[in-house]
A and B are shown apart, each in its own frame.
Chain A
Amino acid sequence: RNIPEASTAKATQTIDVSNATWHNFARLVDVQVGSHVSGVSELKRYLQRFGYVKDDATDLSDVFDGHLEYAISLYQQNLGLPITGRLDTSTVALMSSPRCGVSDAHMINAGVHTTAR
């Protein structure tokens, strides 16, 4: 679907102010499952850092695999984004935003369902 103009503007602004490491996520927008793209491994490390990829996971390659798609879906669910499993603009923008350093692992363990509250 088309992204509303306001959302696009907000996402772009957020990416622009992010730190050097996470700023690189902007080039991963719309990367597809099965792709091999430089920078995907950094995204996996980001998701591991915040509890979405297991701590003992060793395959942090640049391949966008099914595990990453699932991790992105969990992230979207916990952060109140539309759950697509895709690296859409709003997801990448939020991943690029500054945040609290506390892992989201407790949200995953709690099985967050916002509609249930």
Chain B
Amino acid sequence: YTYFGGKPKWYRDKLTYAFSETHKLDYMNSDDVRKAFRRSFGRWAGVIPVSFEEIDDYAKADLKIGFFAGDHGDGQPFDGVLGTLAHAFAPENGRLHLDAAETWVVDDDFKGGGSTVAVDLESVATHEIGHLLGLGHSSQESAVMYPSVRPRTKKVDLTVDDVAGILKLYGANPRLRLDSLTQSEDSLQNG
């Protein structure tokens, strides 16, 4: 695991998030998007003493989520199908942008066939929320915070590496159960 320079983090135990009403997908039910993000936020909330609450007011939310295409004004233009899938900013910026050009799927929709370039929304959401909270990229391929993800692949379970990184920033949620984590061989070897 790594951190952004200066190890920025949030100094509140309750963060709000909202979805852009203007920058959204026209082919996906917004309830499905909300459910996927709720599960992703829940994974991080299960580890650290920070809770996440969805609100309607995009402007007031701590974390702002939207689907954008091409150059969308933040200096990090998206590049069409695949390439870069999403990006998020370090604390306490709060912006999480997903490339609207991708073929986003939820609930394992790619398992029954479909597009060869389908990307699992929940996997990418879980990764980008890690950035929102202050984690950088991991060198361990099994980690959620590894920068690369294959199409038609679901990777949503936090590994020991992800959890060790976020625990150092925020401390532990009292309900955290370490035995529920995915452990890579590297993690085990490194204690």
Residues of A at the B interface (CB closer than 8 Å) are 14, 17-22, 77-80, 94, 97-102, 104, 106-107, 109-110, 112, 114-115, 117
Partner of A117, one of B88, B137, B190: B190
Give the secondary structure class of B's interface: loop
Tell me whether A14 and B141 are in contact in the complex, defined as CB-CB below 8 angstroms, given that A100-B128, A101-B87, A117-B190 are known contacts. no
Flag if A98 contacts B137 (CB, 8 Å): no
Task: Determine the distance from Cα of A109 to Cα of B2 in the docked complex, in whole angstroms.
Answer: 10
Residues of B at the A interface (CB closer than 8 Å) are 1-5, 76, 78-88, 99, 116-117, 119, 124, 127-128, 131, 136-137, 139-141, 146-151, 161, 164, 186, 190
Besides the known contacts A78-B139, A101-B84, A115-B190, 16 further A-B residue pairs in the complex with CB atoms under 8 A apart: A21-B79, A22-B82, A79-B147, A80-B139, A97-B148, A98-B84, A99-B147, A100-B85, A100-B127, A101-B76, A101-B85, A104-B137, A107-B137, A110-B3, A110-B136, A114-B140
Partner of B82, one of A80, A98, A102, A114: A98
Residues in B whose Cβ lies below 8 Å from that of A18: 82-83
Flag if B2 contacts A112 (CB, 8 Å): yes
Partner of B186, one of A21, A94, A102, A114: A114
Flag if A80 contacts B148 (CB, 8 Å): no
Q: Show 25 residue pairs from A and B whose CB-CB distance is below 8 angstroms, ordered by the A residue.
A: A17-B82, A17-B116, A18-B83, A19-B81, A19-B83, A22-B82, A78-B139, A80-B140, A98-B83, A99-B85, A99-B147, A100-B86, A100-B124, A100-B128, A101-B78, A101-B85, A101-B86, A101-B99, A102-B136, A102-B137, A104-B137, A106-B137, A107-B2, A114-B186, A117-B164
